[in-house]
Amino acid sequence: MPILTIQNLSKSYGALQVTDDVSLALQPGEALGVIGPNGAGKTTLFNLIAGTVHPNAGSIVFDGLDVTTMPARSRCHLGIGRSFQIPHPFSGMTTYENVLVGAAFGRNASERDSERRAVAVLEMTGLRRKANTYAGQLTLLERKRLEMARALASDPKLLLLDEIAGGLTEPECVELVEAIKTVRSEGVSVIWIEHVVHALLAVVDRIAVFDFGRKIADGEPREVMASLEVANIYMGIEGAHG
Ligand SMILES: Nc1ncnc2c1ncn2[C@@H]1O[C@H](COP(=O)(O)OP(=O)(O)OP(=O)(O)O)[C@@H](O)[C@H]1O
Domain of residue 45, residue span: 1-79+157-242
Q: Crossing angle for the helix pair 95-105 and 140-152, nearest 10 degrees? A: 20
Query: Are 96 and 131 spatial neighbours (Cβ–Cβ below 8 Å)?
Result: yes
Predicted complex ipTM? 0.94
Provide the domain count of the chain.
2
Residues contacting ligand 1 via CB (< 6 Å) = 13, 16, 18, 36, 38-44
19 shares its domain with 40: yes
148 shares its domain with 165: no
Using a CB cutoff of 8 Å and minimum separation of 24, what contacts does 37-42 make? Answer: 37/211, 37/233, 37/236, 37/237, 37/240, 38/240, 40/210, 40/211, 40/212, 40/213, 41/11, 41/210, 41/212, 41/213, 42/162, 42/193, 42/210
The percent of residues in the chain predicted with pLDDT above 90, rounded, is 77
Query: Are 199 and 176 spatial neighbours (Cβ–Cβ below 8 Å)?
Result: yes
169 shares its domain with 116: no
In this structure, what CATH number is given to the domain that contains residue 178? 3.40.50.300
Q: Atom 4 of ligand 1 has which residue's CA nearest to it?
A: 13
Residue finishing a domain among 155, 176, 201: 155
176 shares its domain with 209: yes
User: The pTM is what?
Assistant: 0.91
138 shares its domain with 166: no
Write out pLDDT tens, residues 53-98.
999 999 999 999 999 999 999 999 999 999 876 667 778 899 999 9
26 shares its domain with 75: yes
208 shares its domain with 227: yes
**Alpha-carbon span 22 to 133, nearest angstrom:** 42
Residue finishing a domain among 109, 137, 155: 155
Give the distance (Å) from ligand 1 centre to CA of residue 164. Answer: 17
For residue 16, what are the β-bridge partners? 13
Q: Atom 12 of ligand 1 has which residue's CA nearest to it?
A: 18
